[in-house]
Amino acid sequence: MKRAGLVAIVVVVLAVAAGIAYLRREPADPRKPHQIRDEGIAALKAGDLARAQSLLELAIERADRAEIRPIDINAYAVPLFQAYALQDKVTEAVRIHPRVQQPQDKYYFPYPREANNFVTLLVRSGRFEASLDVAQKLAHTMRDLGSNFSETMNLAVWSNVDRLLFRAGDTDGARAAFEKAREQLEALSRFRMSRHWPLEPGVRAWLSRYESYLTVTDRPEDAAAVAKLVATIEANSPSEAGEPACLSVRDPPPLGCLLEVPVAVIFPGNSGPKTR
């Protein structure tokens, strides 16, 4: 009888403890996956990358649980990839990047900014063979679909492709990439000068580094062509004082910076231009 009473007391205590835990529990998060994603994108645009990553990871986890179609999951994967890329989190970015593409995108990158950043991360982490494959597919994308994107996007991407192909010893491919970059800079010059608009923030500094790259790769005429076009634009409409930390393009979805392949990666140890 005493034992039964003790058991009853234990049961009551456990029930009370469970009731208290229930009352103290965190309320269920009522947000839908897309609402969490949108909060993450807002944080990404504001530059709060750690918060953006946390929210976007939760959003894609909820989206997977909700069995959102693979063809739609890239709306979650693209901003999450960008959050990883802008923090130089190579492992995480490489893991999520396949979900950025839609299943039918075998020959093109639907999001050139993210592909550009992906190839840059691969280079920075020393994965040069993999980066070359991505660079070639990115070049194919921009040749065929570049008109869908801004001159600034085209210019930045082609200048990176130039660097990557040059490092691989493909001087003809690098030269072709430069010609594409120059075409875009000429188009940018005509468009901006006709409206007396300066270059977008970050473009002048990007082009200055590109000019330096062309100089150290023994392409002084190409470097001079870039310098002349920039000087013409600047004389017509000077860039605002103070350059931002990165180049951000407005092509949709507008999710932050374009990463740049540094010249130091092309010439490790500053050993000079690579020759075939």
pLDDT in tens, the chain (276 residues): 556 666 566 555 566 555 565 445 445 678 899 999 999 999 998 889 999 999 999 999 999 998 888 778 889 999 999 999 999 999 999 999 988 876 567 778 888 889 999 999 999 888 888 899 889 999 999 999 888 998 999 999 999 999 999 988 999 999 999 999 999 999 988 988 887 888 888 999 999 999 999 999 999 999 999 999 999 999 988 888 877 878 888 777 778 789 998 877 666 544 444 433
In this structure, are 91 and 160 located in the same domain? Answer: no
pLDDT in the model for residue 5: 61
Residue with tokens 């023994």: 218
Least Cα distance to 75 among 50, 55, 51, 101 occurs for: 101
Assess contact for 147 and 247: CB atoms under 8 A.
Answer: no
In this structure, are 193 and 275 located in the same domain? Answer: yes
- Dihedral over alpha carbons 212, 218, 219, 221 (to 10 degrees): 100
Which of 60, 80, 99 delimits the end of a domain? 99
Amino acid at 103: P
Q: d(Cα 116, Cα 34) in Å, to the nearest integer?
A: 26
pLDDT in the model for residue 154: 94
Residue 176 forms part of a structural domain: yes
Q: Give the domain range for residue 43.
A: 31-99
In this structure, are 85 and 167 located in the same domain? Answer: no
Domain count across the chain = 2
Q: d(Cα 237, Cα 256) in Å, to the nearest integer?
A: 25
Q: d(Cα 103, Cα 238) in Å, to the nearest integer?
A: 44
* Structure token digits, residue 158: 């082609």
In this structure, are 85 and 159 located in the same domain? Answer: no
3-state secondary structure of 226: helix
Residue 217 forms part of a structural domain: yes
Amino acid at 162: D
pLDDT in the model for residue 275: 38
Residue 143 forms part of a structural domain: no
Amino acid at 209: R
pTM score, two decimals? 0.81
pLDDT in the model for residue 26: 45
